[in-house]
Structure 1
Amino acid sequence: MPRELDEVDRGILYRLQRDARGTTAQEIAETVGVSPSTVRNRIDRLETEGVINGYHPEIDYEAANLPLQVLFICTAPASHRSELADRILDVQGVVDLREMMTGRHNIHVEVVATSTTDISRITDAIHDLGLEIESSELIKRRRRQPFDHFHFADLDGGTSDAGP
């Protein structure tokens, strides 16, 4: 059973979401009002408990000469959805997969590619696995932000607002 996160945990998670690589334990400690060693211990515990599952770079695929980003909206039989989702991850070019709990369009697959030939190969691989592609959308830009439940307003010059 997941444990309840306290204000310190939420503050740590918020800061890590904003900039995990460029934020020190000292900076987080100053924000949440504990010592840097407490922050490091909390991060270790959050990692051990599976709350934090890794630190991943945000890549500008266009700058990395992968100019095509496509979102495939797919349908898989509900009884095979999880198995098919696992197998799609083996397709070269797949960078993100979302398995949906409800609805007909129950697998969303994001891919990156250098050419339409790559997109055709990925499309064929998805079909070969037995999924029906309902639509494919060319992605212009993706934007992310930290989950606001972890928000600490004092990071932006206000007061702490980390309550539920």
Structure 2
Amino acid sequence: MVKLDNVDRGILHELQLDARNRTAQEIADKVDVSASTVRNRIAELEGDGVIEGYHPKIDYEKADLPLQIMFVCTAPPTERSEMVDQILDIRGVVDVRETLTGRRNLYVEAVGTSTTDTVRISDSMHAMGLSIESSEILRQRQVQPFNHFFFTDPYADGDDNGED
């Protein structure tokens, strides 16, 4: 567990907003420290495993993968964690979420071009011993940065996204 201070929290928030286009100086201006402090803190957060990576947000439909499917599965509790890597090896699987419940304990998001992909993915999961409880075609997915690192609003301008 890493103890985060307000500078770390501010840096994480800014990176979540747009890590690719935020410079160290822009982040520094927001969190009121120097750019070198921001670079050092980011290196520490990466080294401590708080920041695990930087990933693009992909519009799968525009990338000619029009089907996004959410499979809700049940895996034997003692095998659930080990199955995650196997599921991620299935072509088309983009996200696996593991829950602590006994049933419906894996949520698998996959993309594909046709129902043939859906069948191939579900057949692969069945072959592993997973029980597919439901599968739904996703219309859209919206994700937002976690913005509750602060107990009070860190930005005095009243704006909830921290931009001036």
* TM-score, scaled relative to structure 2: 0.92
Matches within 5 A, 1:53-68: 53-68=52-67
Whether 1:94 and 2:106 are equivalent positions in the alignment is no
Give the equivalent residue in structure 2 for 1:9.
Answer: 8
Which runs of 5 or more residues in structure 2 are unaligned? none
% identical aligned pairs: 60
- Give the Cα–Cα distance (whole angstroms) in 2 for the partners of residues 101 and 86 of structure 1: 17
Q: Is the contact made by 1:99 and 1:107 (CA closer than 8 Å) also made in structure 2? A: yes
1:1-164 matched pairs, under 5 angstroms: 2-150=1-149, 154=155, 157-158=157-158
Question: Residue type matched to 1:74 in 2?
Answer: C
Query: Which whole-Å CA distance do the structure 2 matches of 1:130 and 1:119 have between them?
Result: 17
Q: Do the aligned residues in 2 keep the contact of 1:12 with 1:28 (CA within 8 Å)?
A: yes
Shift of 1:154: 2.2
- TM (norm. structure 1) is 0.92
**What letter corresponds to residue 155 of structure 2 in structure 1?**
D
The number of residues matched between the two structures is: 158
Q: Deviations over 1:91-139 (max 9, x none)?
A: 0000000011124100100000001111110010010010000000111
Structure with the larger helix share:
1
Which amino acid counterpart does residue 62 of structure 1 have in structure 2? Answer: E
Unpaired segments ≥5 residues, structure 1: none
Q: In structure 2, what is the Cα distance between the partners aligned to 1:145 and 1:136?
A: 24
Q: SS at 1:38's partner residue?
A: helix
Q: Post-superposition shift, 1:150?
A: 2.7
The answer (yes or no) to whether the contact 1:153–1:159 under 8 Å persists in 2 is no
The structure-2 alpha-carbon separation of the partners of 1:65 and 1:21, relative to structure 1 and needing over 3 Å to count, comes to: same
